[in-house]
Amino acid sequence: MFDKVLIANRGEIAVRINSACRELGIKTVSVHSVADTDAMHARLSDESVCIGPAAVRDSYLNIPSIIAAAEITNADAIHPGYGFLSENANFAAIVEEHGFTFIGPTPAHIGMMGDKVRAKETMRKLGVPVVPGSSGALDDVEEFIAVAEEIGYPVLVKAVSGGGGRGMKRVDGREGMTEAVAMARAEAQSAFDDSSLYLEKLIDSPRHVEVQVLADQHGAVVHLGERDCSLQRRHQKMVEEAPSSALNAEERERIGARVVHAVGEIGYRGVGTVEFLYQAGEFYFIEMNTRIQVEHPVTEMITGIDLVREQIRVAAGAPLGYGQQDIVFNGHAIECRVNAEDPLTFRPCPGLITGYHPPGGLGVRVDSALYQDYTVPPYYDSLLAKVIVHGSNRNECLMRLRRVLEEYVITGVETTIPFHLKLIANADFANGAFDIHWLERFIAEG
């Protein structure tokens, strides 16, 4: 096992990784920007190194600074968390070249999944259902039109290096193709420095269902069921839950087995998330994430497996030590992301936390780096806390969530708690009657 881990992140996930390390008896090094000198993650770790100014490109994305921090503190491994450098294959390679262990998959696996066309082709060949579309990147508009006429409109033009919905354009007929391809290309070039594009059939009203996998370095692979992340605003998830209320046990086992087979075949290691669109009983692979995800706690709550601990253990070469038959799903879990934002306009709202009292009790978990008198800086994303509730069923979760959101005191900044209270009072939400477009309409209708 590692003696010391450097945590290359900030906020609640840095605190979460620090906790997992402490339970494993591993010493921790955090890194922080000048703006994060008083941040909780920097206080809780055994050591903390200032890696640069507030701007992320000078600190949390500053590879030489992070490597230097690992060298001067004599760390064994680097945990990238989510966001920042977590899916940067080049960073993973540099970490390993300097003699540290990257807590994550190999640079080759990160690179494979970062290329959405390669990821999709790999999954398709291994028997994972994918969205109908072009068999690779396309060049001129005639090619896009030819593929679109074959699979039928409406279609989506997507960026090969995409994600987060950027460089994605809907096309309803051949008239719209020229403009959509031009716009998607320009967007992809500026966002990802890669203008290559591919084409998919549009799945019009699916759920977003993602399967959690965990693999060790000795060929053992398990899935930990799925999360439903359909409730998104502008490609930002706001509420996630496990299991998905759209799936039955047979569908869960079917897609889980396909995913485990594919992940095993490519020799993947670590945690990973295989994302699907799910509509009318069919799964369509879209992407694979090679990092720990924000919403991992809902899976932890229903399986009792500490995903960050397992991620560190397998990176150190430890065997999983259990198989698929040992994984038991227990009850239901829902996570609400509490952001420092106006609950009506979602405008960021950084500032001084004048009062803080988090909820607790049976089936309640709060992952956060907040404390009273902390000042939320304006330079980073607005996630303040994740409120996770566990219950024996979905309805129990909803009742518990209402109690917990009403008890949660955060004063000094606006938060999205009032938004979540309104959401959980909605009948469609309570009935699980939503798709990926539902939340935008709910917000628009006030």
Active site (catalytic) residues: 291
| Smallest separation, CB 203 to ligand MV4 (Å) | 4
Would you list the DSSP string of 137-168?
Answer: -B-SHHHHHHHHHHH-SSEEEEETT-BTTBT-
With respect to ligand MV4, which residue has the nearer C-beta, 202 or 266? 202
The total of other beta-carbon atoms located within 10 Å of residue 218's CB is: 11
CB 69 within 8 A of CB 42: no
The CA-CA-CA angle for residues 389, 315, 48, to 5°, reads 75
Using alpha carbons, select from 299, 315, 293, 254 the residue that is nearest to residue 78.
315
Q: List residues near ligand MV4 by CB under 6 A.
A: 131, 156, 163, 165, 200-203, 208, 232, 235, 277, 286-287, 436
The total of other beta-carbon atoms located within 10 Å of residue 340's CB is: 25
With respect to ligand MV4, which residue has the nearer C-beta, 26 or 184? 184
Instruction: Judge if the upstream peptide bond of residue 348 is cis by omega within 30 degrees of 0.
Output: no
**Which 8-state DSSP code applies to residue 302?**
H
With respect to ligand MV4, which residue has the nearer C-beta, 152 or 317? 152
| Smallest separation, CB 178 to ligand MV4 (Å) | 20
Rounded Cα distance between 400 and 304, Å, is 19
Q: How far is CA 303 from CA 61, 138, 300, 326, in A?
A: 33, 42, 5, 10
| Smallest separation, CB 285 to ligand MV4 (Å) | 10
Per DSSP, the three-state class of 306 is coil
When computed from its CA atoms, the radius of gyration of the chain, rounded to whole angstroms, is: 22
State the sign of the Cα–Cα–Cα–Cα dihedral 38, 83, 358, 29: negative
Structure tokens at 112: 């494979």
**Which 8-state DSSP code applies to residue 100?**
P
| Smallest separation, CB 286 to ligand MV4 (Å) | 5
Using alpha carbons, select from 325, 158, 148 the residue that is nearest to residue 235.
158
Rounded Cα distance between 210 and 73, Å, is 37
| Smallest separation, CB 445 to ligand MV4 (Å) | 17
Quickly list H helices, 10-134.
11-23, 40-44, 63-73, 89-97, 107-114, 116-125
| Smallest separation, CB 30 to ligand MV4 (Å) | 30
What does the longest C-alpha to C-alpha distance in the chain come to?
A: 62
433: region left, alpha or beta (phi > 0 left; psi from -120 to 50 alpha): beta
With respect to ligand MV4, which residue has the nearer C-beta, 277 or 423? 277
Rounded Cα distance between 24 and 2, Å, is 9
* Helix, strand, coil fractions of the chain, as percent rounded to 5: 35, 25, 35
Please, what is the angle between helix 394-407 and helix 417-424, to 10°? 150
